[in-house]
Amino acid sequence: MANKEERWEIEGFILFVLMIVISVLLSKVEGKGQFLKFLFLDVLFINLTGVFMLVSGLALLGLGLYLIFSKKAADPKKLTWVLPLFLLLWIGLGIGLLQDIRDNLLDVGNYIVGNIAEEEVVIVKFKRIPAHNNTLYEYTFSDGRQLVEKYSGKGFAAIQEGATYRIRYLPRSQKLLNIHRVD
């Protein structure tokens, strides 16, 4: 049995490392790489994790209520106070992960049909914000809009304030696909 557990740990670690390597490689590809990164990380990984947590939380609620009302629970009193706490955490995390699912799915459709916002902007302020495992890039445009992006890649960090750039981004979620300096 321990051999099977060790194998799962190794396979999980390899999958995690593989996801990081793919993510780094996709950062170097321009617009398509950033979209694929958005698709795999934001849409598939985060949103599907939220769906799984929400559905499994609701299933556990049904199972817990069944065990309590059918008097098949080993300790019904304990289950009546543990179940709501667990469900509050589990379903709350699921809902939190799903907060952007509508915009993300609409942006996947927008990308497929070619509806990508493109404009020329003057970046008046550029700031790097260190975050947990990555760096956030904050762009402030001449019209006062701000765009905060966590993806890196060609052109995302090589910004000169006051210069004009052509940016392409997804219209609903404002995910930046690429940025090029206009000469």
Q: Where are the domains of the chain?
A: 2-99, 116-181
Predicted confidence pLDDT, tens digits, the chain (183 residues):
556 666 667 877 887 888 777 666 655 555 577 787 788 888 888 888 999 999 999 999 899 889 888 988 888 888 888 889 989 999 999 999 888 889 988 988 888 888 889 999 999 998 888 877 777 888 899 999 988 887 655 556 678 889 999 989 899 988 888 888 887
Enter the tokens of residue 104: 């993300």
What topology does CATH give the domain 116-181? Answer: OB fold (Dihydrolipoamide Acetyltransferase, E2P) (2.40.50)
Question: Cβ distance 68 to 78 under 8 Å?
Answer: no
Enter the tokens of residue 116: 């990508």
User: Sheet harboring 176-181: ordered strands across?
Assistant: 146-149, 135-141, 117-130, 164-169, 176-181
Non-local CB neighbours of 164 within 8 Å, separated by 6+ positions: 120, 121, 122, 181, 182
Tell me 172's DSSP state. Answer: T
